[in-house]
Amino acid sequence: MTEEEKMLAGKLYDPSDPKLDTRRLLAHRLSMEYNNTLETDAEKRKAILAQLLPDCGEDTFLQGPLQFDYGCYTRFGKRCYANFNLVVLDV
C-alpha cells in the first residue's frame, strides 16, 4: 500500500513520501500565487485553480486568502463560494 493510499484510507502514513511531498509543495505554491492575485484578475485566478483543484466546478469563487494541503483531493461543485481564510486539509 502506498503512502497516498494509506493517507486516503485514514491510516498512518509518511507525509515526507516523495510523491506526497511534491504534491504538497505544488499546492502551497499555487495557494500563494492565488492569494497574491487580485480578485479582478479572474482569468489568472481561474488558471491557478485549474492546476490546484483539477475537479472544480464552473463559477466557483474562492475569496482568498486560502491554503490547501494538497488541492488535488478536493472537489467543488458548480457555483460554490468560500469566504476568506479558507484552509483545506484534504488528507
List domains and CATH numbers for the chain: 3-7+14-88 (2.160.10.10)
The total of other beta-carbon atoms located within 10 Å of residue 85's CB is: 10
* Alpha carbons 18 and 55: distance in angstroms, whole number: 23
Give how far the C-alpha of residue 35 lies from the chain's centroid of Cα atoms, to the nearest Å.
12
In this predicted model, what pLDDT tens digit does every residue of 51-87 receive, in sequence order?
999 999 999 999 999 999 999 999 999 999 999 999 9
Distances (CA, A) of 27 to 1, 40, 43, 86: 23, 22, 19, 14
Find residue 50's DSSP bridge partners.
none
The total of other beta-carbon atoms located within 10 Å of residue 29's CB is: 13
pLDDT mean over 5-19: 96
Global pTM exceeds 0.85:
yes
